[in-house]
Amino acid sequence: MKVPHSHHSFSIGKKFFLASLSLLLIPFFGYQHVQEMSEHLRANQEQALLTRAKMVAATLHERPELFNISALSAQPDTNHLYVRSRSSPIILDGYGDEWRHHPERRHTLFTHINETQSKNTAKNNLQAGFWIGSYQDNLYLYFEVKDNQVVYRSYEDQSLNKSDALTLILDRPDGKTETYRITTAAPGRVQARQVQWSEGQFRELEHNTLNINSVWHETATGYNIEVEIPVAAMGRRLGIIISDIDQDSNSPSYATLDEANTKSATLSSIVIPSPELESLLRRLDAPSSRTWVIDRQRRVVALTGRLDASSSEVFHEQDYTSNQSLFSDVKTIFYKLLLPQPTQYLKDDLSTVSKLEGQKITSALQGVALTQWRNTQDKNTNILMASHPVWNQGKVIGAVAIEETSHRTVLLQNRAIEIVINLSLLAFITASIVLLLIAMRLSYRIKKLRNEAEQAIGPDGQIHNTLTYTNASDEIGDLALCFTDVLNRLNQYNQYLEGMSSKLSHELRTPIAIIRSSLDNFDQAENANEASLYVARAREGIERLSTILTRMSEATRLEQTLQQEEYSIFELLPIIKSCVSGYQLAYPGTSIILSNLLSQTAGPVNIKGTPDLIAQLLDKLVNNAIDFSITDTPITIELSHTANEIKLGVFNQGRHLPDNMKDSLFNSMVSIRHQRSKDPHLGLGLYVVRLITQHHRGRVFAYNVEQPKGVRFCVTFPVSRIV
């Protein structure tokens, strides 16, 4: 009956594909490693930045004059302005195009109602802010004023107190304080006038000691003023007042805006970058970082570097690489969507401050260095600040704070993740393709082997073909060789079964013919003597049939006996010696020699089995050797052993075994005798030898020997114990 082929719902290809999914663990573990690497990078960045801050602070330890302590520490509670240097020249025109692209640097002026000059509270919407910066030898201020009514100075009345005005109060390098007032009769260029407060109003002095230029520009919501002051004329303090006059038919209302949120006339401290200090910090500066120097009052006295430079470099590099090819563009877009990217335009809360606050600054001013991360408006970017105290004569005179963003760390982390993902995808795709090809190849080979095995045996059970797919040196090739061996054995067994009938027919024909001829002759016998002769021949034929049947059932009885036999551990040598002594008496015309090659120093060699069965096995081998030996040649029985097994061999001189009979020699009813004998030989002797050998977990085989020419039968048994 032919077994139908089953449908493979879970084929080898699917199994290999599922096995390839295990490669997805690579990006998982890679991502975990990248996260750990990111933590190490952050720690290394903290240590490196703190080392840089310590190095900068060490450079400033012995240079207290750069802090200008006496000027800045006099009024620690006042407002403070740090003037940031401009990288490009400023055109004094009142339009402010150079200022508005830095809206974060705008300072707000606070309302202050002047009740001494007017009893009427100003009812207006006065608002003002200003930018401040320096370029080369000049200090620039730009004011935006929102005023619903701009009042200019009258041509007839040259008073400086009856119009909208900007008042600047500044310290000179020699410590003197001077006041300058900017008011005009019409928009345009205006020269600031030096004034003095006297009897409740500003009075113009005869000569200006300082040349301050400005431009007044009227706008739809008020006016703008752009001012230029020589840096060399500036001291360390600055006051700003914007006066607003709302003129009606009755009495004017008067209000002011000043830089300090206070009603006092306190001036703000101001620091214009020292070229010497900035040059020193610039030499110690690193790209993509910002260095602050502050005094004991947390006021900024020097600043170099920019934090957004790193993001620009990052994005310029990404833009350059992304323009290489379409694939690179697609890959860049994919990773930008997948991974957190550093911001291109960093919004920093400290970009305009003139004082630094926070635990890290307090710690540094107390003499303890510290690093700290802070968040920004961009959730993907953090800023690291390392602060270190500046010492002079055992006292803290200020602190150095250096900042860096997490851009570089994020970029390195993203690139590491990209590499992990790219390599993982490449490994997964490559492994999947390779495994798929292997699976297809294996599936093809297995199907071909199945088809050949199926076609090798016909519906009648006969072996028609042999397998041809046996040249591969892997497991499937080994399986094909096993199938080939199985088919060869089946073929031999079929031939054996087919030859058994002729063998039985041959062995049974002679005694039956004897019995038939004896009975026929018995009927025709003329006297009693002749009749008794025929009866004797018939009895001989019957005994021959009985012998054949007895020997045929001998193997079956032996198999049943083997199942009931109990094992025991015994020494093999005495059994062999006893049997050899018996053979020498039973076969006096044949020389039977025992060759004992067992080690005399190792002691007795034991096996586990049944002594009687071993004797029966040796009987069969010796009988076979005597039948096939050349007359007057000895039969040699050999006994030897190794550490794990003992070998029993029987050698006789005579014809070699046919090559085609070596594998089937120990099958049932196999005989290669060429001469007829008076005794029947069914080929069961060596079959019994095989059964006994298998019962003792041994092996039996035979091979031809060239010198002297003959055949040696070998039986090996596992050694039970060597004492």
Q: For residue range 479-513, what is the model confidence (pLDDT) as tens digits?
A: 888 888 888 878 777 776 676 667 667 667 777 87
Q: Which of 221-230, 475-484, 692-701 has the highest mean pLDDT?
A: 221-230
pLDDT at 190: 94
* pLDDT tens figures, 187-223: 999 999 999 988 778 888 888 888 999 999 999 999 9
In a domain, 632, yes or no: yes
Domain at 305, CATH number: 3.30.450.20
pLDDT at 376: 78
**Does residue 364 sit in the same domain as residue 258?**
no
Q: Pick the residue with more confidence: 562 or 169?
A: 169
What is the total count of domains within the chain?
4
End-to-end Cα, the chain, rounded Å: 57
Domain at 644, CATH number: 3.30.565.10
**Does residue 246 sit in the same domain as residue 286?**
no
**Going by DSSP bridges, is the β-strand pair 699-705/710-718 parallel, antiparallel, or unpaired?**
antiparallel
Question: How many CB atoms are closer than 10 A to CB 580?
Answer: 17
Q: Pick the residue with more confidence: 335 or 201?
A: 201
Contact 235, 220 (CB under 8 A): no
pLDDT at 182: 94
**Does residue 92 sit in the same domain as residue 65?**
no
Which region holds residue 367: left if phi is over 0, alpha if psi is between -120 and 50, else beta?
Answer: left
> Chain-wide mean pLDDT for the chain?
80
Which region holds residue 47: left if phi is over 0, alpha if psi is between -120 and 50, else beta?
Answer: alpha
Confidence of residue 70 (pLDDT cuts 50, 70, 90): very low
Question: How many CB atoms are closer than 10 A to CB 697?
Answer: 12
Which residue, 371, 401, 417, sits at the end of a domain? 417
In a domain, 371, yes or no: yes
In a domain, 450, yes or no: no
**Does residue 288 sit in the same domain as residue 266?**
no
Q: Longest Cα pair distance anywhere in the chain, in angstroms?
A: 192
Nearest to 170 by CA among 115, 208, 129: 208
Q: Six-digit token pair at 210?
A: 């300082």
In a domain, 383, yes or no: yes
Q: Which of 492-506, 545-559, 652-666 has the highest mean pLDDT?
A: 652-666
* pLDDT tens figures, 597-634: 887 666 788 899 888 889 989 998 998 899 889 988 99
Q: What single letter denotes the amino acid at residue 187? A: P
Rounded CA separation 231/528 (Å): 166
Confidence of residue 380 (pLDDT cuts 50, 70, 90): confident
DSSP string, 242-267: EEEEE--SS--EEEEEESSSSSS-PP
Using a CB cutoff of 8 Å and minimum separation of 24, what contacts does 371-379 make?
A: 371/46, 371/49, 371/50, 373/42, 373/406, 376/343, 376/346, 376/347, 376/348, 376/349, 377/347, 378/343, 378/346, 378/347, 379/340
In a domain, 391, yes or no: yes
**Does residue 57 sit in the same domain as residue 95?**
no
Nearest to 681 by CA among 501, 548, 558: 548
| H/E stretch holding 593 | strand 592-596
* pLDDT tens figures, 381-438: 888 999 999 988 888 888 999 998 888 888 888 888 888 888 888 887 888 788 888 8
- pLDDT of residue 3 exceeding 90, the answer is no
Q: Pick the residue with more confidence: 711 or 315?
A: 711
* Angstrom distances, CA of residue 255 to CA of 125, 186, 216, 243: 10, 21, 19, 6
Query: Whole-model pTM?
Result: 0.57
Q: Pick the residue with more confidence: 33 or 3?
A: 33
Nearest to 700 by CA among 620, 636, 628, 630: 620
pLDDT at 542: 85
Contact 165, 158 (CB under 8 A): no
Rounded CA separation 342/313 (Å): 11
Rounded CA separation 365/371 (Å): 14
SS (H, E, C) 287-307: CCEEEEEEECCCEEEEEEECC
**Does residue 123 sit in the same domain as residue 41?**
no
pLDDT at 700: 92
Q: Which segments within 95-186 are labelled E, that is strand?
A: 107-108, 110-113, 127-135, 138-146, 165-171, 177-182
**Does residue 61 sit in the same domain as residue 103?**
no
Question: How many CB atoms are closer than 10 A to CB 390?
Answer: 27
Rounded CA separation 161/202 (Å): 7
**What contacts 145, CB < 8 A, 6 or more positions away?**
126, 127, 128, 164, 222, 223, 224, 225, 242
Confidence of residue 117 (pLDDT cuts 50, 70, 90): very low
Rounded CA separation 714/416 (Å): 68
Which SS3 state, helix, strand or coil, does residue 510 take? helix
**Does residue 52 sit in the same domain as residue 94?**
no
Task: Please state the rounded mean pLDDT for residues 20-49.
Answer: 81
**Does residue 163 sit in the same domain as residue 225?**
yes
Q: What single letter denotes the amino acid at residue 711? A: V
pLDDT at 311: 45
Confidence of residue 116 (pLDDT cuts 50, 70, 90): very low
Which SS3 state, helix, strand or coil, does residue 89 take? coil
- Please, what is the Cα angle at 41 between 38 and 43, to 5 degrees? 110
**What contacts 506, CB < 8 A, 6 or more positions away?**
none
pLDDT at 454: 82
Task: Please state the rounded mean pLDDT for residues 51-70.
Answer: 78
- pLDDT of residue 679 exceeding 60, the answer is no
Rounded CA separation 664/714 (Å): 15
**Does residue 288 sit in the same domain as residue 248?**
no
- Please, what is the Cα angle at 10 between 9 and 15, to 5 degrees? 160
Task: Please state the rounded mean pLDDT for residues 670-691.
Answer: 66
- pLDDT above 70: percentage of residues in the chain: 82
Cis amide bond preceding 611, omega within 30: no
**Does residue 138 sit in the same domain as residue 247?**
yes
- pLDDT of residue 322 exceeding 60, the answer is no
pLDDT at 306: 81
Strand partners, 203: 196
Contact 720, 646 (CB under 8 A): no
Rounded CA separation 447/404 (Å): 66
In a domain, 397, yes or no: yes
**Does residue 212 sit in the same domain as residue 95?**
yes
Judged on CB neighbours under 10 Å (0-12, 13-18, 19+), 180 is: buried
Domain at 499, CATH number: 1.10.287
Q: Residue 504: which domain range?
A: 474-556
Domain at 261, CATH number: 2.60.40.1190
Which residue, 526, 556, 586, sits at the end of a domain? 556
**Of 166-180, 277-291, 442-456, 675-689, the least confident:** 675-689
In a domain, 585, yes or no: yes
Which residue, 397, 417, 437, sits at the end of a domain? 417
Contact 241, 266 (CB under 8 A): no
pLDDT at 120: 45
Task: Please state the rounded mean pLDDT for residues 540-549.
Answer: 78
- pLDDT of residue 119 exceeding 50, the answer is no
Q: Six-digit token pair at 126?
A: 């006065």
In a domain, 469, yes or no: no
Confidence of residue 561 (pLDDT cuts 50, 70, 90): confident
Q: Pick the residue with more confidence: 472 or 453?
A: 453
